[in-house]
């Protein structure tokens, strides 16, 4: 009998134990790899092109982007089994990674990309605790597994919520666009603007979303500056002419491509942004001009410094933009489109009419039917004009968004703003929600018994034990407009997003002549 055989016979139990231990360790590591916790943990799917489908490519979209029944749904949903892998759309950097506690999402991952030379960010939501597999600052590649799908947050079943934003970081600039073109491109193995690009209808839908977002910024900036509606319509027409209301970077200004943009123009001069303004000509730095709110402010300051209200529409716009003489008429050609855009986004038509900027019969800055001053429709319209503004704790006053690093609203700041604007200052609400026993917003106004009696413009209070922790503006149809919480923006969403409804208040009524009047218990002076 050889020495090796003798050794095996003598130590077979120890050898078997070592083998079993190794098998267990191997099996454990394989399981951890499935959870992306055992190095290298960078598994994913094969990618044919620069983009990857965020779930199994055989899975179709279940709930689409801003559909008729869910106009506030700023992404798409994929119904996939619990724990299914979620893949990065493109190469990028993790800017947020949290497996619980994210309002509405539970857990989420946010990635920053550059696709086709343009900054984009993507969102993957509803992860359960332990389902986020990446960390902030980590570099990821297209098709890499970044999370396991879950059912946390405001979710009715296991699924992945996926968003695409026209910004480098969804957290700092909320600019949702239709993800469908990118999803189609991922399936085809092309870029979203490649030879196998999505169909014209999909591209048009994405362009409309960008235009509406920037138009809302132009409108809210003008409202905050006290610019009459006619001036705001002029600004919209200028934006449509100059850039189709896209925040354009330029190849002629390389620095502009470093900032969030809606595309890069070839550029034959140094004009950038939605109004095509030039750095070095008192409009601000390139970085400032690439901020749509800044560009709009610069335009309004120049417009309101003139006697534009005595001029016709085309002349007022052209005197600010100063195009070639043969191009001055192009602004008036977009006037009707600008008015329609204002009306759709505000819910009311701009005051005034065609011709001069302030014709007889119109009061600049005040809405006209169907949103007469003091009506619930006017309150809703004022709130809708601020959709997309970031949540800022303590933000907002009667004149508009406030705060840093970006101007915005908290929940009660938005409601006091909407009422101040809709009533011409007749109803000034305090800047906190409160409860039924103090002078906060919930302690004033006319109590409404239940939701079946609520009207557009009523305030909805959410919380527990009679103490309001959140407030929104009822928009009708089970929807409200509100500023939810940190790292979100003013939005219109279902009432269920607010939590437990504990009270409804009405602050304006119509007197016998049809004029707006403060409700009996509503204040005419502000609180703290």
Second-level CATH architecture of 76-187: Distorted Sandwich (2.70)
Sign of the Cα torsion 213, 218, 219, 220 reads positive
Contact 67, 209 (CB under 8 A): no
CA dist., res. 420 & res. 374, Å (int)? 9
pLDDT value, residue 233:
92
- HSE value, Cβ hemisphere, 13 Å, CA-based, for 122: 29
pLDDT tens for each residue of the chain, 528 residues long: 566 655 666 666 667 666 766 665 555 444 444 433 333 334 567 676 788 999 988 788 888 888 888 888 889 999 888 888 899 999 888 989 998 888 889 899 999 988 877 888 999 999 988 889 998 888 888 888 899 999 888 888 889 999 999 888 888 788 899 998 888 888 776 555 444 334 444 444 445 567 777 888 888 788 878 888 889 999 999 999 888 898 888 888 889 888 888 788 876 578 899 999 988 788 999 999 999 989 999 999 999 998 888 888 888 888 888 887 767 778 888 888 888 888 777 666 776 543 333 222 222 233 323 334 567 888 888 888 888 788 888 889 998 898 866 788 999 999 999 998 888 888 888 888 876 566 688 888 889 988 888 888 999 999 887 788 899 999 877 789 999 987 788 888 888 888 889 999 998 764 433 344 555 444 333 322
Sign of the Cα torsion 364, 370, 371, 373 reads positive
Sign of the Cα torsion 418, 422, 426, 427 reads negative
Peptide bond into 40 cis (omega under 30): yes
Single out the catalytic residue among 74, 113, 126, 482: 482
Query: Parallel, antiparallel, or unpaired: how do β-strands 446-447 and 501-506 relate?
Result: antiparallel
Q: How many CB atoms lie within 10 A of CB 363?
A: 14
Burial category of 215 from C-beta neighbours within 10 Å (exposed 0-12, middle 13-18, buried 19 and up): buried
pLDDT value, residue 421:
87
Ramachandran angles phi, psi of 20, nearest 5°: -60, -40
Second-level CATH architecture of 378-518: Alpha-Beta Complex (3.90)
Single out the catalytic residue among 126, 159, 213, 470: 470
pLDDT value, residue 2:
63
Domain ranges of the chain: 76-187, 207-346, 378-518
CA 527 to chain CA centroid, nearest Å: 30
pLDDT value, residue 459:
94
pLDDT value, residue 193:
47
pLDDT value, residue 10:
66
Q: Is 470 tagged catalytic?
A: yes
Q: Is 159 tagged catalytic?
A: no
In terms of Cα–Cα distance, which of 283, 259, 57 is closest to 168?
Answer: 259
Q: Is 269 tagged catalytic?
A: no
Peptide bond into 370 cis (omega under 30): yes
Single out the catalytic residue among 161, 165, 411, 431: 411
């Amino acid at each position: 009998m050889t020495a090796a055989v003798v050794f095996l016979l003598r130590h077979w139990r120890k050898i078997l134990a070592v083998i079993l231990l190794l098998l267990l360790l191997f099996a454990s590591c394989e399981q951890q790899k499935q959870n992306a916790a055992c190095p290298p943990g960078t598994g994913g799917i094969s990618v044919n092109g620069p983009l990857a489908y965020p779930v199994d490519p055989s899975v179709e979209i279940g709930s689409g982007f801003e559909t008729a029944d869910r106009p506030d749904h700023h992404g798409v949903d994929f119904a996939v089994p619990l724990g299914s892998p979620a893949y990065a759309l493109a190469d990028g950097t993790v800017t947020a990674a949290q497996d619980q506690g994210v309002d509405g999402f539970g857990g989420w991952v946010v990635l920053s990309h550059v696709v086709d030379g343009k900054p984009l960010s993507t969102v993957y939501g509803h992860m359960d605790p332990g389902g986020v597999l990446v960390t902030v600052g980590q570099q990821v590649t297209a098709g890499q597994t970044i999370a396991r799908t879950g059912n946390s947050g405001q979710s009715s079943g296991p699924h992945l919520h996926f968003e695409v934003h026209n910004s480098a970081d969804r957290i700092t600039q909320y600019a949702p666009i239709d993800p469908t073109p990118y999803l189609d491109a991922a399936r085809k193995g092309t870029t979203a603007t490649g030879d196998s690009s999505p169909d014209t209808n999909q591209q048009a839908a994405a362009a409309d979303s960008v235009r509406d977002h920037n138009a809302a910024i132009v409108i809210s900036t003008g409202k905050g500056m006290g610019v009459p509606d006619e001036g705001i319509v002029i600004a919209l027409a200028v934006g449509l002419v100059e850039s189709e209301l896209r925040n354009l970077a330029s190849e002629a200004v390389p620095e502009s491509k470093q900032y969030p943009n809606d595309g890069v123009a070839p550029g034959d001069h140094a004009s950038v942004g939605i109004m095509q303004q030039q750095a070095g000509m008192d409009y601000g730095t390139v970085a400032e001009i690439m901020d749509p709110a800044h560009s709009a402010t610069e335009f309004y300051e120049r417009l309101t410094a003139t006697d534009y209200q005595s001029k016709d529409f085309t002349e007022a716009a052209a005197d600010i933009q100063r195009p070639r003489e043969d191009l001055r008429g192009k602004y008036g050609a977009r006037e009707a489109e600008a008015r329609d855009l204002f009306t759709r986004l505000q819910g009311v038509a701009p005051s005034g009419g065609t011709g001069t900027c302030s014709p007889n019969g119109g009061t600049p800055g005040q809405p006209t039917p169907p949103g007469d001053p003091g009506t619930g429709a006017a309150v809703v319209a004022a709130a809708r004009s601020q959709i997309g503004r970031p949540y800022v704790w303590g933000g907002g006053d009667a004149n508009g968004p406030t705060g840093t690093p970006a101007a915005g609203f908290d929940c009660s700041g938005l409601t006091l703003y909407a009422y101040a604007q809709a009533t011409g200052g007749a109803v000034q609400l305090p800047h906190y929600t409160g409860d039924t026993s103090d002078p906060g917003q919930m302690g004033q106004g006319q109590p409404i018994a239940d939701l079946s009696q609520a009207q557009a413009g009523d305030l909805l209070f959410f919380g527990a034990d009679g103490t309001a922790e959140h407030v929104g503006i009822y928009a009708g149809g089970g929807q409200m407009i509100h500023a939810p919480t940190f790292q979100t923006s003013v939005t219109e969403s279902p009432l269920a997003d607010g939590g437990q409804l504990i009270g409804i208040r009405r602050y304006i009524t119509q007197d016998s002549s049809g004029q707006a009047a403060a409700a009996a218990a509503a204040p005419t002076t502000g609180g703290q």
